[in-house]
Structure 1
Amino acid sequence: MNKLGAIIAVAVCVLVLLNISTVFAFLFLLLKIALVVGLLALAGFLVFGFIEKPETRLPPAPTPKGEAPTEPVFEKPYFDAHEKGREGEEKVSAILQHMGWPALHNVILEDDRGLTEIDHLVKAPWGIVVIETKNYDGFISGSSTPGVWKQSFPNSSGVSYRLFMDPVHQNYRHVCAVKYLTEMENVQSVVVFAGRAYASPFVHHQVVRLKNLERVLRKRPESFAYVDKRELEKAWYILQQAYIANAGRAREHIDELRQRFS
């Protein structure tokens, strides 16, 4: 009986030890799984966390109503030397030169409303393209005021912002001036973002990123019919003559803007 009891006791001890080792093995397996998942998550953050995704980034928190100025503070590009704006225009000019399409830059036109300045005019095979270039940083979104967009920047106290004229609306004025002078209907408006700004979905669908400009220009708008070559040449000649005639009216145009924004 003593031997039988000893054998039973030894068997029980062995079973207990086996159960304990099984438990420890299971816990060790869970630890390894958790470690692998953690390393994969860290690698994913390092790889994808620094890739900018302007179109999917969430907009900043809405500005409290009390912070909005009584009237919009519009951008006045002619009153200060905007080096960044010129850099953006130079980038667009380089793309147009690479494409080999005839182009005019910084064109002042006069219509029944006065003078207006256009960043770039391009003669495409199917018509005239009017390009407005913006070289923004920060986050660009719409606002509660029609024809006004908002540029937001994070800072230590939250988010600062400024309001400026909607460049799509601004370029519509340029398109109207081109149509007024040339009497041509095939005039396309293109607003180019040449900077690093993020954009809300509302803004994103109305502008063209610099890297996509050539692809967009080479695609004829579906609503545009093919234009007669002689009509296109005539329109381009009119714009060339206006460009030459108004080259010295920059100061006059600035004075008009000062009166408009004063």
Structure 2
Amino acid sequence: MDKLGAIIAMAVCLLVLLNISTVFAFLFLLVKIALVVGLLALAGFLVFGFIEKPEKHLPPPPPPTKDEAPAEPVFEKPYFDAHEKGREGEEKVSAILQHMGWPALHNVLLEDDRGLTEIDHLVKAPWGIVVIETKNYDGFISGSSTPGVWKQSFPNSTGVGYRLFMDPVHQNYRHVCAVKYLTGLENVQSLVVFAGRAYTSPFVHHQVVRLKDLERVLRTRPEGFAYVDERELERAWYVLQQAFVANTGRGREHIDKLRQRFS
């Protein structure tokens, strides 16, 4: 009887252990499922979360041909007047800078060893000079197969139109070089601000600042930018103010030289 009782007791213990193992296996399966679902959700956020969504989804832009040239498209409203849209964007940025109360210059012509260049906004920050290039785009903005060139795609009467334009980050680098050349200051930051409703590819998204984020970005000192001596910053700002006054009225000259360069 004692042996029989021991055998029964061992059998009961074995059954209990098997049930516990089954419960743990089931719980482990649930944990694995939760981890897989969480990883899929995280991957979806990383892929789609940084893409700014448009109000309406646009069809994909036509792929560039091998010999594609930056042809002028037939613009439809609201794309017909790029100059007017650009000016509206600059006015929005100017309003934010005025609200912040930081010293700023707008539509500044500077001349360095490479000639004249026009800057949308110069801002004197506590740690240096900020050079702002403003773009007021609609549609979809992406990179292109050509380095230094971006693409704007937009709906028109035939489906989808597009135009190629100079990468504004590259364009603003030219402005930064002019500021450094004239002032000798190293703490010069480049910002490309998107003031329009365009949505962007991930490639473009990480290189531009949205209008709604501009004040926050300006109040954040860039990594690696130490505060400069106040007298040095004041001297650099004075040089820029003097250049701004001296080059006022040379806009036509600048435009004519650009036409000669790209004609």
Give the TM-score category using the shorter length.
Answer: 0.7 to 0.9
Structure 1 residues 155-170: aligned runs within 5 Å: 155=156, 157-170=158-171
> Counterpart in 1 of 2:110?
109
Q: Does 1:82 align with 2:83?
A: yes
> Do the aligned residues in 2 keep the contact of 1:54 with 1:197 (CA within 8 Å)?
no
Size of the aligned set, in residue pairs, is 206
Q: State the identity %.
A: 83
> Counterpart in 1 of 2:201?
200
> Counterpart in 2 of 1:39?
none
Deviation at 1:140, TM superposition (A): 0.3
- The residue type equivalent to 2:249 in the other structure is G
CA distance in 1, matches of 2:63, 2:229: 53
Deviation at 1:183, TM superposition (A): 0.4
Structure 1 residues 47-58: aligned runs within 5 Å: 55=52
Deviation at 1:139, TM superposition (A): 0.3
> Do the aligned residues in 2 keep the contact of 1:147 with 1:165 (CA within 8 Å)?
yes
Deviation at 1:119, TM superposition (A): 0.3
Structure 1 residues 1-262: aligned runs within 5 Å: 55=52, 60-61=59-60, 63-66=62-65, 70-73=68-71, 82-155=83-156, 157-262=158-263
Q: Aligned in 2, Cα 1:131/1:73: closer, same or farther, shift over 3 Å?
A: farther
CA offsets per residue over residues 48-102 of structure 1, 9 Å max, x none?
xxxxx85257885352344x76433489xxxx87111111000000000000000
CA distance in 1, matches of 2:87, 2:67: 29
CA offsets per residue over residues 223-261 of structure 1, 9 Å max, x none?
111100000000000000000000011111011101111
CA distance in 1, matches of 2:243, 2:172: 18
Deviation at 1:153, TM superposition (A): 1.0
Q: Aligned in 2, Cα 1:137/1:231: closer, same or farther, shift over 3 Å?
A: same
SS in structure 2 of the partner of residue 175 of structure 1: helix
Could you state the TM-score of these two structures normalised by the residue count of structure 1?
0.73
- The residue type equivalent to 1:168 in the other structure is V
Mark the runs of 5 or more structure 2 residues left unpaired by the alignment: 1-49, 74-80
> Do the aligned residues in 2 keep the contact of 1:73 with 1:164 (CA within 8 Å)?
no
Deviation at 1:218, TM superposition (A): 0.2
> Do the aligned residues in 1 keep the contact of 2:61 with 2:161 (CA within 8 Å)?
no
Q: Aligned in 2, Cα 1:241/1:197: closer, same or farther, shift over 3 Å?
A: same
Mark the runs of 5 or more structure 1 residues left unpaired by the alignment: 1-52
Deviation at 1:159, TM superposition (A): 2.1
Could you state the TM-score of these two structures normalised by the residue count of structure 2?
0.73
CA distance in 1, matches of 2:150, 2:82: 21
> Do the aligned residues in 2 keep the contact of 1:123 with 1:129 (CA within 8 Å)?
yes
Q: Which of 1 and 2 has greater Rg?
A: 1
- The residue type equivalent to 2:52 in the other structure is E
